[in-house]
Structures are given as C-alpha cells and as structure tokens.
Amino acid sequence: MKKRFSYNICTIMTTGRTGSDYLAGCLDGVKNLMVFSGKFNHKSHFINQKEKIRKEILITKFVKENKKLFKYNKVENLKLNINILNFKKKFLEISDDVLDSKEFLIKLYETYHLILNRKLKKSNTIIHHSHGLENTKNFLDDFPNSKILITIRDPRANFKSGLLNWFKFDDNKKQMMHVFRYMRRIRNDLNFALEQKNKKKFIKLELMGSNKYKKQILKFLGTKYDKKINISTFANLVWNGDKLSNFKKKTYGSFNKDVINNNWNTFFTKDEILLLNLLYSNYRRFYKIKKTRIFDRIYLFFRSLLPFNFEKMVTNNADFFSNKFIKNIIFYLRRIIYVQLIILNIDKFKYEKKN
C-alpha cells in the first residue's frame, strides 16, 4: 500500500467562454494548491465507480490520449515541455497496482505536482478543471463533497464570444448546431450549477482582474494569499490566452481588460437582446438583465419563427440540399421549439450533453 493523503477537493466549472482557463492558470503554482494544467475526463476508461484497472494500463492510455497536456496544446496556444516518460515512471512509483477512478485522479495530481518539483502536503487542495457539464457531473460522482468554482460572464457577451471566436477559429463551427448548442449551454450550465448543494462560489470574469476578488477566491479555497495568483500559468509557463481569443497584444499572464466589454449591446439587434434577456433570465441575480414583459413574450413567440441575424451568419454559409444545409434546417427548427418552450415556461430539454 502506497502512502496516501486526504486532500481538500475543488473543481472549476465553466458556463461557456467565461475565463475558466485563466482562473485555473492563476491558481497554478499557488501555495497549498494542486493544479493539473489542462482539461481531461478522468473517468473515460472506467465503466463505474467500483471498477479497478491496473495502473500500467491506465497511465499508458491516459498519456496517449492527452499528449496536449504535456507537449503542444493548439487551442490553449501553449508549447509545454513535460517529460512523458518521467511522468509515467513517477505515477507507477507512487500508485497501487490497481486503481478506481477516484484513486486514479488523485494519483495523477500527485504525480503532476511532484514532476513540477512541488511538495505534497495533507493541507493541499486539488483543483480539478472539469470545465464542461458532463465532466463536472462525472467528477462530482466521485467527489460529491467537492467545492465548486463556477466561472460566469454576462451571458450576452458570452454568447457573442462563443459564436464569433469559434467561427474564426474553426470554420466547421459555422452551422446552426453550434449556435443552438452554445445558446443552450449558457442557460443550462448555470441551472445545473445552481442546483448543486455543494459549497460553491460564482466567479465573474469581469472581476477577475481585481486583486481583492482573487483574495476572496483563495479565502473560499481555504488558503492564504499568494502573489502567484496574479499571473496565469500552465505548468509554470506563462499563458497569454487561447487561440480562440486571438488577442492582439501579449498579456504575459496578466488579466486582459479587453474581455470585460466586447460590445455585445451593439452587435445584437433589439429583438435579439430581447430574446437573450428572456433566455438568460437565470443570470439576473448576477447581472443587470431586464425582465421580459408579457407582451414581449407574445411578440417573441411569433418572432422566433424567423431567423435572427446571428443565425443568418451560418444559414447562408451552406449550399442548398447539402448535408450542412439539412443539418442547419434541423437545428433551426430545434431552436424555434426550444425558444417557444422557454416562453411558455417549459424547460423541456434540461442539459446539453456535449460541451
């Protein structure tokens, strides 16, 4: 039996493009925190919580499927240099012969921490960036008493960023499937987070540049202030924003104030803002979002039958009767049904699985 510690556990969940990578990076290297730079699903090889798998099989599959965590990460715009052979060797050295999914995650974090020449302590807190809804649910299955940090952003700014930045980065995202799913996830991810009974803290992207705000985050995590929280890093390497953000200037790990206001109010039309205010009324406790009057609901019910400008951006991007065109029609109809159900106060489809 290998030496074991009992750690405090916390996970970071996003609700779209809301700065979860930046937050995770700020916590990297902070005293008493254990952060694995990057996102992964620790349960991808397990059928259930009770299943145990040999450590050699687990680590071999893990590094094979997650090379971006050690070398080049295109989306995060990072060139990491973590020796995979040393990582595997250290993992095998400190792990029991067989592991369940919970033990596997803990050993991954211990290995990562040691590889970066950081010390293991009983007082340490594991900070896992579960990111999307499905991975967060998987994580909470194993660690039901985990604290949760939920990154949020004005949902209208979030929606604009989730459309334009993905369109610029990946031309395949220019279709109604992405528009519909991203529209839903902003609402549904927050609903899921609000339902959780865990100790949790909602982190506003707009305030992440504040030193006072970062002190509050560390207090929630139960650790003292560490100036390293002011610079976002991945495995000690300074992070300057992901490829989607496409910042024109280097931030050298500091907070980029350009993300606070992305001019969503001039990008969307009045009808679109009316729609978004309705869809994202669950954010009203965090942001100034006007309540939707009964007459506006009636208007939107019929207006929703017609495409909005942000939908025309993708529906005009496909040849007639192509596979893409047919998929656009399908997801456009799904969007109509979704919006009209929300107007009727029916949340028929609770959570989007793909994040």
DSSP-derived secondary structure for 147-199: EEEEEE--HHHHHHHHHHHHHHH-GGG-SHHHHHHHHHHHHHHHHHHHH--S-
Q: Is the same domain home to 224 and 299?
A: no
Asked whether residue 47 is domain-assigned, the answer is yes
Q: What local confidence, expressed as pLDDT, does residue 230 receive? A: 95
pLDDT at 278 over 90: yes
Q: What local confidence, expressed as pLDDT, does residue 315 receive? A: 78
**pLDDT, average across residues 332-338:** 96
CA distances from 150 to 1, 12, 15 (A): 36, 6, 7
Distance (Å, whole) CA 215 – CA 230: 10
pLDDT-based confidence at residue 3 (cuts at 50, 70, 90): low
pLDDT at 205 over 80: yes
Q: Is the same domain home to 287 and 210?
A: no
The span from the first CA to the last CA of the chain, in angstroms, equals: 38
- The total of other beta-carbon atoms located within 10 Å of residue 159's CB is 27
Q: What percent of the chain has pLDDT over 70?
A: 94
Q: Is the same domain home to 176 and 296?
A: no
Q: Is the same domain home to 233 and 321?
A: no
Q: What local confidence, expressed as pLDDT, does residue 267 receive? A: 96
Q: What local confidence, expressed as pLDDT, does residue 353 receive? A: 46
Q: Are 303 and 271 in contact (CB under 8 A)?
A: yes
End position of a domain, from candidates 238, 272, 304 = 238
The predicted-structure confidence for 7-66, as pLDDT tens digits, reads as follows 999 999 999 999 999 999 999 999 999 999 889 999 998 988 889 999 999 999 999 999
Q: Is the same domain home to 27 and 91?
A: yes
**pLDDT, average across residues 126-138:** 95
Q: What local confidence, expressed as pLDDT, does residue 355 receive? A: 38
pLDDT at 351 over 70: no
Q: Sign of torsion, CA 169 175 179 185? A: negative
Mean pLDDT, the chain, rounded, equals 91
Q: What local confidence, expressed as pLDDT, does residue 354 receive? A: 44
pLDDT at 76 over 80: no
Distance (Å, whole) CA 299 – CA 318: 29
Residue 10: beta bridge partners?
A: 127, 147
pTM of the model: 0.93
pLDDT at 261 over 50: yes
Distance (Å, whole) CA 25 – CA 37: 7
Q: What local confidence, expressed as pLDDT, does residue 348 receive? A: 58
Q: Is the same domain home to 95 and 174?
A: yes
CA distances from 320 to 315, 330, 332 (A): 10, 14, 15
The number of domains in the chain is: 2
The predicted-structure confidence for 286-323, as pLDDT tens digits, reads as follows 999 999 999 999 999 999 999 999 999 887 776 777 88
The predicted-structure confidence for 182-193, as pLDDT tens digits, reads as follows 999 999 999 999
| CB-count burial class (<10 Å; 0-12, 13-18, 19+) for 317 | middle
Query: At 146, which CATH number?
Result: 3.40.50.300
Residue 73 or residue 331, greater confidence: 331
End position of a domain, from candidates 238, 255, 282 = 238
pLDDT at 84 over 60: yes
Asked whether residue 253 is domain-assigned, the answer is no
Which range marks the domain in which residue 294 is found?
Answer: 264-343
Q: What percent of the chain has pLDDT over 90?
A: 75
Asked whether residue 352 is domain-assigned, the answer is no
Q: Are 105 and 45 in contact (CB under 8 A)?
A: no
Q: Is the same domain home to 138 and 269?
A: no
